[in-house]
């Protein structure tokens, strides 16, 4: 679109800029844009589109040029006035320690207008280095300077949200302080109380005192307590009480100030938590107290503080009334009256269903006669007297307690009554006052005004939900607007929301208590049913406002200002509290600015808008200076943003970490100076980041993104030339003068092995994946890692032998470590360790086919330290074999080292046979697969490996047949898996198949093993009540490879294994049958020679085919034992029992000696036996 001509684009753009400046001035003078948000968004969007027609020099003139007589400075105005005014004030506060008088009111106050302003900023910076330079500098100064500590918390989201538009601020609950919050909100919402308390002077006098409620240093609260205790000891009790009351007043002032003007969703009244005492003792913040008790204590403390400061006791004036305790003598004309003050009227709810009934009973007189007759002082005798209590003085705000709690002395606990008790919205107290209670007493008549209003309207309810021993308090409060309308709000700790308490049914449901029909699950009927239940949430305190209480118009306007939150300071309050509120608001808005979704999207757009073209990214010499600077500025902003805050935030805010990796690497790929700046300033200058993002970070995708950044940077800086050592304070420095930035980067990561890897073993896979990914990039990368001695170092780490302490994590995941070792070792020449089995005949070792296919030629001979660990010891081989998560690359390493290497082959085979003989049955599959892979190696030592695997390593390990014989009674799954492994071996390996047919002893042991498997599979399930036979329908059996237990599962896989084993049985010869009949104690006198080595291997034998008829005789003989194994003819309805074995011992074949495999003498060493390994 920018290629299309638009002759008047500059004129239109100037008009849009002037309009935006006009809106900015409106906000500065009135605090409001005075335009609709959609209109503002539209003008910002038009300006952004018009900018696309401007060349870079014109953008510079509009955005940041300050040499003109009247500079436009649109970039600065957008940042400081339209989007981040609070951050500008925060920056001034950090630099000078003083708060500016300016108000932090942004021109763009909605997400849509903010996004439009951000897009305009991005448009100003496209292809314009001066604008980009200014913007990056301003953002860095505001959010990412050295004054701002980087985030340490992972998955961070701002804990407190913003105050609702024209809404109210909540109070945080410390655990069980809801009784405080519900009462404080009721008092705050009484305008006369709020204004009077905030206007009180003399309590908050320290201008530097912090009332923000934020967490302080550990132990600070204890120091305050100790200080108060010292004061209590030094000062008298009266002075101490005075200071306590003034402290309470100060904390209530702080709470009211923040409730009025805070921009946060809720305020934390930490000061009141620390200072408040109930009956002289500090309160436990996690223990619920009585709301009425707190109310009366708070009212008393505030009035005492105001009295001590010489000011009007506003709480008693607004909330305080008085009783008239009257005694009217019937036997004489005398009357007596005693006035008693009250701040709460407590009424009974038991045996009363309405407030009117309870109040009537409350003022009902009691006749004193007989022994209880009253003694008249004036008559000096006892007379019949009426004793009654009535209201003498009605307060402007009437508080009533519904007595729902009592103490049960029998059960020794408090109980709560959830009885139904209703109360009216409009209450007339006239029937309960002294002037209407029968005969007027002179002293009362003089004091009671005849024209006083007695009508009240319900304005607040404190609800208790739960039991007497514990529950929750919250408030409903009626807010009256200046236009005469009113609305109910629910104040539930930090949450304040509108509610429908003006509906009669709603107030009945939420406040009256009683019973209701509710759904409960009936465990007998196994379904939901309706039952009558108690409403355990009901009203506990009521607040009624007298109708003649005239609201001052000024107070009303101040109240509306506080709710609309337009300016701070219009309502009189202590300067210290005002400063604390403003400072907290600025800090909150500054913090909210950089953790908003709009800002994260803006940063991504800004750092991506000046990326170098893909066609020129690999040739940075063609980049001009301005493009180079734009790349550098983009990388600097993206790096600071990610490592200061971005990577530590929650995914819902930052998005996918891989997307930020793509943005950052776009710039790292394009320029050598950019790579150098990033490595030195973001990594080497902060070496803890290697551990923080590779080992400590709990987010998998953040660890992956950081790992990819390191790999990417090391790969592209490999050809950047020599680089001096960047980390002077490191324990080990790479002193190679030819070392590149890539070398120093990998060296820094390897330094984590000296300490950090041992302490943070949970996320080791990402650490080693970094090297695996890097080695996979090519030959140069593999050569580099080999020069850094990575294979030997990693093998020592796996063995807990260095370079640092042993890994403390219980089950470290080392699969990737083994893969890296495999990748690098298979690029090295190990031919000096190889020899042919026919070396005496002049044959040389066969070429190794298991080297790394990426390296057609070996990079270097294997390093001495790596060779010593791999070939000179057995510990690393054992460690690798024990790892149950071996990958294909690790198997290839064992094959690579076993190739034409009899010593290494013997070590691997010996360890595998030990694991097969003694490991848990459900872990055998891994070892069986590994053994099979070793036996399928087609080098000159293959037949020797197969022979020793089947019959055992001489004087070291028993073979597979011996393990089958030893395990078939009590570890049947082990024996079965050995047979299954041999089935696979004989099926896949020609040499093994020929050995089975040519070696008499192996042939005999194979037939014995197959017959045992057949006997086990045909055996009935144990027990006389068995319901299923093997050849009838049965529930699917579990796997013999992945489940615990020792006894064989009759699965379909086991049946297939038996069928394949039978097919592999060679044709029996007469002498073999005789041997089977006579027993297996004697060995055959002659054994056929093993098959020739691979160099002299004959052509394939047709008898090798599984379907060859030569195997039919043996298979039929074995299967003939189970001719009744199949189900009976159709329609017979009976199951034919299988033929039982005639063995002398369970699991021992006929003629088989019961002597264990270990006790049998080894076969005589003849020339026909394969030689043992050297």
Q: Are 740 and 717 in contact (CB under 8 A)?
A: yes
The distance from CA 137 to its chain's CA centroid, rounded to whole angstroms, is 33
Count of CA atoms in the C-beta half-sphere (13 A) of 105: 19
What is the bridge-based pairing of β-strands 860-861 and 266-267?
unpaired
How many other β-carbons are positioned within 10 Å of the β-carbon of residue 214? 10
Strand segments (E) across 844-911: 860-861
The bridge status of strand 281-282 relative to strand 321-329 is unpaired
Alpha-carbon 925 to chain mean position: 36
**Cα 1166 to the chain's mean position, in Å?**
68
CA pair distance 766, 581, nearest whole angstrom? 46
d(CA 212, CA 188): 18
Main-chain phi, psi angles of 263, to 5 degrees: -100, 5
CB 413 within 8 A of CB 469: yes
Contact 394, 321 (CB under 8 A): yes
Q: What backbone torsions phi and psi does residue 544 show, to the nearest 5 degrees?
A: -115, 135
**Six-digit token pair at 475?**
């408030």
Give the integer Cα–Cα distance in Å for 1174 and 1165.
16
Read off the DSSP letter of residue 923. G
Pairwise CA distance, residues 425 & 544, whole Å: 9
Active-site annotation holder among 178, 390, 723, 897:
178
* CA 679 from centroid of its chain's CA atoms: 29
Q: Are strands 860-861 and 828-829 parallel, antiparallel or unpaired?
A: parallel
Q: Are 678 and 635 in contact (CB under 8 A)?
A: yes
Q: Which tokens is 219 given?
A: 């132990």
CA distance 1155 to 1130: 45
Q: Is 472 a catalytic residue?
A: yes
Let me know: does 383 contact 373? Beta carbons within 8 Å. Answer: yes
Residue 726 sits at the vertex; the CA angle it makes with 725 and 730, to the nearest 5 degrees, is: 90
Q: Does an H or E element contain 905, and which?
A: helix 902-918
Give the residue among 781, 747, 775, 769 at the shortest CA–CA distance from 679: 747
- The first and second tokens of residue 313, run together, are 């006791």
How many Cβ atoms from other residues are within 10 Å of residue 143's Cβ?
A: 23
Q: Which residue has the tokens 């049985």?
A: 1065
Distance CA 992, CA 1082 (A): 24
What would the two tokens of residue 301 be? 């403390």
Classify strands 397-403 and 345-348 as parallel, antiparallel or unpaired.
parallel
Strands, DSSP E only, in 750-884? 828-829, 860-861
The DSSP H or E segment spanning 960 is helix 960-967
Residue 892, token pair as written in the block: 């290839």
d(CA 226, CA 15): 65
Greatest Cα-to-Cα distance within the chain, rounded to the nearest angstrom = 145
Which member of 472, 680, 754, 922 is catalytic?
A: 472
Q: Compute the residue count for the chain.
A: 1174
Q: Please state, as a whole number, how many other Cβ atoms lie within 10 Å of the Cβ of residue 551.
A: 13
**Rounded CA separation 758/802 (Å):** 10
DSSP state of 1173: P
Three-class SS state of 232: helix
Q: How many CB atoms lie within 10 A of CB 1161?
A: 8
178 is catalytic: yes
Positions marked catalytic = 178, 472
């Amino acid at each position: 679109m920018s290629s299309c001509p638009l002759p008047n684009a500059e004129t239109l753009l100037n008009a849009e800029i002037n309009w935006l400046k006009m809106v900015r001035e409106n906000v500065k003078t009135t605090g409001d844009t005075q335009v609709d948000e959609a209109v503002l968004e539209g003008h910002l969007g038009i300006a952004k589109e018009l900018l696309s027609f401007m060349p870079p020099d014109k953008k510079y003139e509009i955005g940041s040029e300050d040499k003109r007589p009247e500079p436009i400075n649109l970039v600065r105005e957008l940042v400081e006035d339209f989007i981040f005014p609070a951050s500008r004030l925060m920056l001034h506060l950090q630099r000078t320690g003083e708060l500016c008088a300016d108000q932090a009111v942004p021109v763009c106050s909605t997400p849509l207008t903010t996004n439009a302003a951000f897009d305009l900023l991005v448009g100003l910076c496209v292809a314009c280095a001066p604008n980009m330079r200014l913007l990056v500098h301003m953002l860095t100064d505001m959010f990412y300077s050295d004054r701002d500590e980087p985030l340490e918390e992972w998955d961070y989201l701002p804990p407190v949200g913003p105050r609702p538009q024209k809404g109210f601020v909540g109070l945080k609950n410390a655990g069980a302080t809801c009784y405080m919050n519900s009462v404080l909100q009721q008092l705050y919402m009484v305008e006369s109380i709020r204004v009077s308390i905030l206007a009180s002077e003399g309590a908050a006098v320290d201008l530097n005192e912090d009332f923000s409620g934020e967490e302080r240093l550990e132990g600070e609260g204890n120091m305050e307590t100790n200080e108060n205790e010292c004061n209590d000891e030094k000062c008298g009790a009266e002075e101490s009480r005075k200071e306590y009351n003034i402290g309470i007043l100060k904390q209530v002032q702080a709470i009211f100030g923040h409730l009025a003007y805070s921009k946060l969703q809720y305020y934390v009244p930490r000061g009141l938590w620390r200072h408040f005492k109930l009956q002289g003792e500090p309160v436990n913040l996690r223990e619920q107290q009585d709301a009425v008790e707190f109310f009366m204590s708070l009212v008393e403390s505030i009035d005492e503080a105001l009295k001590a400061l010489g000011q009007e006791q506003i709480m008693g004036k607004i909330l305080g009334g008085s009783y008239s305790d009257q005694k009217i003598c019937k036997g004489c004309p005398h009357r007596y009256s005693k006035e008693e003050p009250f701040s709460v009227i407590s009424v009974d709810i038991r045996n009363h269903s309405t407030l009117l009934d309870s109040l009537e009973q409350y003022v009902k007189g009691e006749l004193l006669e007989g022994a209880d007759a009253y003694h008249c002082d004036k008559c000096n005798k006892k007379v019949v007297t009426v004793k009654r209590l009535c209201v003498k003085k009605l307060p402007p705000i009437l508080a009533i307690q519904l007595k729902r709690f009592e103490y049960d002395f029998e059960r020794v606990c408090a109980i709560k009554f959830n009885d139904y008790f209703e109360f009216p919205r409009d209450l007339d107290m006239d029937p309960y006052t002294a002037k209407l209670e029968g005969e007027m007493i002179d002293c009362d008549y003089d004091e009671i005004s005849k024209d006083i209003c007695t009508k009240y309207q319900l304005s607040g309810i404190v609800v208790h939900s739960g039991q007497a021993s514990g529950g929750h308090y919250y408030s409903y409060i009626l807010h009256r607007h200046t236009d005469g309308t009113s609305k109910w709000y629910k104040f539930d700790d930090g949450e304040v929301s509108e509610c429908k308490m003006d509906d009669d049914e709603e107030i009945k449901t939420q406040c009256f208590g009683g019973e209701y029909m509710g759904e409960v699950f009936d465990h007998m009927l196994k379904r939901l049913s309706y039952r009558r239940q108690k409403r355990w949430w009901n009203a506990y305190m009521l607040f009624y406002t007298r109708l003649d209480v005239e609201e001052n118009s000024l107070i009303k306007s101040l109240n509306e200002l506080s709710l609309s939150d337009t300016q701070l300071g219009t309502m009189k309050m202590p300067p210290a509290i005002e400063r604390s509120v403003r400072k907290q608001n600025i800090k909150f808005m500054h913090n909210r600015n950089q953790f908003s979704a709009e800002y994260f999207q803006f940063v991504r757009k800004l750092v991506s808008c000046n990326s170098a073209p893909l066609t020129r990214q690999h040739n940075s010499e063609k980049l001009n200076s301005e493009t180079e600077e734009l790349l550098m500025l983009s990388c600097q902003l993206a790096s600071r943003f990610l490592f200061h805050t971005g990577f530590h935030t929650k995914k819902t805010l930052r998005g996918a970490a891989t997307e930020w990796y793509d943005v950052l690497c776009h710039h790292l790929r394009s320029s050598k100076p950019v790579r150098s700046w990033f490595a030195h300033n973001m990594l080497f200058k902060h070496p803890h980041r290697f551990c923080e993002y590779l080992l400590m970070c709990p987010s998998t995708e953040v660890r992956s993104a950081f790992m990819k950044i390191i790999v990417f940077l090391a790969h592209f800086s490999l050809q950047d030339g020599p680089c001096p050592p960047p980390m002077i304070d490191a324990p080990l420095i790479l002193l190679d003068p030819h070392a590149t930035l890539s070398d120093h980067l990998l060296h820094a990561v390897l330094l984590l092995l000296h300490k950090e890897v041992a302490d943070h073993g949970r996320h080791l896979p990402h650490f080693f994946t970094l090297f695996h990914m890097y080695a996979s990039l090519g030959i140069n990368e593999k050569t580099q890692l080999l020069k850094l001695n990575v294979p030997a170092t990693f093998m020592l780490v796996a063995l807990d032998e260095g370079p640092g302490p042993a890994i403390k994590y219980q089950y470290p995941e080392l699969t990737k470590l083994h893969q890296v070792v495999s990748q690098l070792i298979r690029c090295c020449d190990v031919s000096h360790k190889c020899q042919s089995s026919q070396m005496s005949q002049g044959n040389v070792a066969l070429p190794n086919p298991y080297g790394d296919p990426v390296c057609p030629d070996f990079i270097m001979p294997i390093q001495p330290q790596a060779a010593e660990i791999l070939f000179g010891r057995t510990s690393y081989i054992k460690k690798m074999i024990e790892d149950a998560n071996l990958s294909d690359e690790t198997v290839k390493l064992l094959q690579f080292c076993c190739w034409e290497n009899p010593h290494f082959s013997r070590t691997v085979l010996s360890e595998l046979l030990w694991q097969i003989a003694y490991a848990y049955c459900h872990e055998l599959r891994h070892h069986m697969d590994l053994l099979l892979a070793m036996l399928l190696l087609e080098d000159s030592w293959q037949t020797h490996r197969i022979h020793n695997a089947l019959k055992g390593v001489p004087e070291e390990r028993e073979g597979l047949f011996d393990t089958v014989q030893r395990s078939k009674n009590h570890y049947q799954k082990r024996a079965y898996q050995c047979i299954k492994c041999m089935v696979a071996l004989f099926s896949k390996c020609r040499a093994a198949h020929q050995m089975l047919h040519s070696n008499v002893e192996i042939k005999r042991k194979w037939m014995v093993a197959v017959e045992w498997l057949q006997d086990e599979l045909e055996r009935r399930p144990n027990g006389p009540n068995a319901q299923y036979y093997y050849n009838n329908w049965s529930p699917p059996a579990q796997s013999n490879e992945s489940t615990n237990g020792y006894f064989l599962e009759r699965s379909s896989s086991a049946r297939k294994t038996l069928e394949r084993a039978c097919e592999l049985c060679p044709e029996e010869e007469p002498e073999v049958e005789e041997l089977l009949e006579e027993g297996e104690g004697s060995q055959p006198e002659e054994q056929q020679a093993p098959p020739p080595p691979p160099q002299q291997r004959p052509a394939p034998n047709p008898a090798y085919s599984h379907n060859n008829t030569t195997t039919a005789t043996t298979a039929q003989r074995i299967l003939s034992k189970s001719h009744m194994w199949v189900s009976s003819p159709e329609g017979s309805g009976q199951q034919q029992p299988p033929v039982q074995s005639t063995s002398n011992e369970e699991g021992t074949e006929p003629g088989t000696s019961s002597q264990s495999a270990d006790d049998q003498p080894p076969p005589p060493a003849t020339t026909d036996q394969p030689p043992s390994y050297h």
